[in-house]
Chain A
Amino acid sequence: MSERRPVRWHIVVFLAPAVIVYTAVMILPLFATLRLALFAEVEQTRVFVGLDNFRTLFGDPRWSASFWNALGNNFWFFAIHMAVQNPIGIALAAILSSPRLRFAHLYRSAIFVPTILSFVIVGFAWKLILSPIWGIAPNMLDAIGLQKLYAPWLGLESTSLTTLALISVWQFVGIPMMLIYAALLSIPDEILEAGECDGITGLSAFWKIKLPLILPSIGIISILTFVGNFNAFDLIYSAQGALAGPNFATDILGTFMYRTFFGFQLQLGDPHMGSAIATAMFGIILIGVCIYLFGIQTRLRRYQF
């Protein structure tokens, strides 16, 4: 008889710290929030109300108007990132990976540095730069004779959200740049040389060889941008406050949730409605990630070198 397989305790022991910490700080709070959304406070006691909070959130004209406004703004915020941040990130990475570029390390660090700055610093610095009173933006435009183009962008309903999205792009453009840069460096020279033999050089080498090979990285970046944007809160809060002015033009799901959950000024906090919004956010992000995982990622072709 062969000896019984010993229980492999070391697997449990090695996994335990990560599992315990992750469960305690991520999984339990997540389910606690989902559960909280099913309750409401009536006469100082917490009672189970089922899906009533969601009925209010989507059915009550005021709540649903705020929710759809925040969701719409969130999609615009995401669209700007996808349309501006990621193409610029890819272009920067392509330029940086060119062997003839001098001072590549310097540019790479300079572009990446804002990513590690705190949101509060970024929000405050840009508010000062764009300030109509003390800012350097009006003066700089004045110096080149374009002062007419200046407007108090952060204070206008029509421009504030786009301005904030572009500030966020400025801060985070280093992330797609770094990821794409790493992907570009991992493309073996033989492939490019083989292409050269077939007469594919320069820009067409980028479009025909490099871009298809970095598509999986672009997919990852898109999903990171999606999750990051729909969880965004800090920049809006530090630049515009919890009321996300002017007239809720910069209100996104994160600020809407914060205002509802913790209350604001005379509005008392309502953790139950706040959790309902948090749950809706969770659902939206989950759907987005699923679409990516099952709809896009499985169709992306991967190449092994």
Chain B
Amino acid sequence: MKPNTLGAALLGTTLAATGATAQDVTLTIESWRNDDLAIWQDQIIPAFEADNPGIKLRFTPSAPAEYNAVLNSKLDAGSAGDLITCRPFDASLALYEAGHLADLSDLSAMGDFPDVAKSAWQTDDGSATFCVPMASVIHGFIYNADAFAELGLEEPETVDEFFAVLDAIKEDGGYIPMAMGTNDQWEAATMGYNNIGPNYWKGEEGRKALIAGEQSLTDEPWVAPFRQLARWNEYLGFGYEAQTYPDSQNLFTLGRAAIYPAGSWEISGFNTQADFAMGAFPPPVPEAGQECHISDHTDIALGLNAASPNAEAARTFLNWVGSAEFASLYANALPGFFPLSSHDVQLEDPLAQEFVSWRQECASTIRSTYQILSRGTPNLENETWNASAQVIRGAESPEDAAARLQDGLASWYEPQQ
């Protein structure tokens, strides 16, 4: 009798489960953006479900640091959600090549994206696009505008002005000139090297030359950013070696530091935390009058799990993700994540407007280490974290760090050999 009861109970739950899906298709979204949970649940999902009865959405994020590992295990086990949030470049390309992501080239919404926006989620020859681009992030410096007014400082435009401003803040002594630590390493590379670097290697020009093997990491344009980073440590707070990323954020939003090397994703957090006026300036150029370059990094996209049983519904949703409605909803709910589609989107947040206005003045590029160059072992991006942190700590000279990166890259990347 006992086994029968158990069997009946199991059968009952199976029936109940299929009963629920028979009416509505529920799409599950895998993501690393657990900070966005409220925005998805309160704004994005209701907006989509109102227009598309019969399709329900579930947003199930995991922790950013674990996302890639968790997602890969889930895909291999066949338990991943229908929609996959795509990291840019090789992480997603590997998923596509392993057959986990479906080809979305024929999706009608794809026509609304410029080629550079799609480049992060395409095969090397550009023949297949497998994720719908959602947003990019722009690098620059956010500053405490009240502190600048108090000390009579202006936004620096050149590197010399930048260090003059830092010296003035240090002289005054009331603020830590710059909030950054080397404990977590990635800020040194992402908000340091790849923030200020494009002005030296001339954005796309240098990045493509590096990929083609025409320039090397030991060339002056690639060593110069390290030279600037090596000067930063005088302006960081006491004990910056053990300062973590959240420490830096808090130092700035508590008003104890004047300048924060930033990515635009900080905007919404800083808006709620800081009670002073904030401004932003793009990375200063080495020589006055030079053309400026910004890192406008394609960061996040949405793809379709090739094994999803609800592909039709998922495609409907992905088309909506490429629409003007989604772009405006997402960009304004998450100021600092800028839409990549060619739709004209109005941003309301002043700081976000400031960041996005640089697209008009400066040439955009993406982080130098992301496309192709981080495909092998040692991984250039991860090595750059270590090298940038080492240079800021003064533990390695800019030239040695660059030479080490070049050796590592040349050890597996043919065009650099």
Contact B382 A267 (CB under 8 A): yes
Nearest CB on A from B192, distance (A): 15
Question: Which of A138, A245, A248 has the most chain B CB atoms closer than 10 A to its own CB?
Answer: A245
Q: How far is the CA of A243 from the CA of B389 in the complex (A)?
A: 12
Contact A153 B65 (CB under 8 A): no
Q: How far is the CA of A245 from the CA of B238 in the complex (A)?
A: 18
Q: Is there a chain A Cβ closer than 8 Å to B243's Cβ?
A: yes
Binds B, one of A107-115, A125-133, A172-180: A125-133
Binds B, one of A25-33, A154-162, A192-200, A284-292: A154-162
Interchain pairs with CB closer than 8 A, number: 110
Contact B186 A265 (CB under 8 A): yes
Residue of B nearest to A154 (CB): B242
New contact pairs (6) apart from A44-B98, A130-B242, CB-CB < 8 Å: A155-B243, A241-B185, A247-B395, A248-B386, A265-B68, A267-B381
Partner of A266, one of B91, B239, B251, B395: B91
Contact B239 A152 (CB under 8 A): yes
Jot down 26 A-B pairs with beta carbons below 8 A, ordered by A. A62-B408, A62-B411, A127-B244, A131-B247, A133-B239, A133-B247, A152-B239, A152-B240, A155-B181, A155-B239, A155-B243, A156-B241, A241-B65, A241-B184, A245-B182, A245-B185, A246-B241, A246-B393, A262-B68, A265-B186, A266-B369, A267-B374, A267-B379, A267-B381, A268-B90, A269-B69
Q: How far is the CA of A262 from the CA of B69 in the complex (A)?
A: 5
Tally of chain A residues near chain B (CB < 8 A): 33
Q: Is there a chain A Cβ closer than 8 Å to B378's Cβ?
A: yes
Residues of A within 8 A of B239 (CB): 131-133, 138, 151-152, 155
Q: Is there a chain B Cβ closer than 8 Å to A68's Cβ?
A: no
Nearest CB on B from A41, distance (A): 10
Partner of B68, one of A130, A153, A263: A263
Nearest CB on A from B374, distance (A): 4
Residues of B within 8 A of A151 (CB): 239
Top 8 closest pairs, chain A to chain B, by CB: A132-B239, A155-B241, A155-B242, A152-B242, A152-B239, A262-B69, A267-B379, A266-B381
Contact B382 A155 (CB under 8 A): no
Residues of A within 8 A of B184 (CB): 241, 245
Q: Is there a chain A Cβ closer than 8 Å to B154's Cβ?
A: no
Residues of B within 8 A of A134 (CB): 247
Q: How far is the CA of A155 from the CA of B185 in the complex (A)?
A: 10
Residues of A within 8 A of B183 (CB): 154-155, 240, 245-246
Residues of A within 8 A of B182 (CB): 155, 245-246
Q: Is there a chain A Cβ closer than 8 Å to B97's Cβ?
A: yes
Residue interface mask B222-249, A partner, CB < 8 A = 1: 0000000000000001111111100100
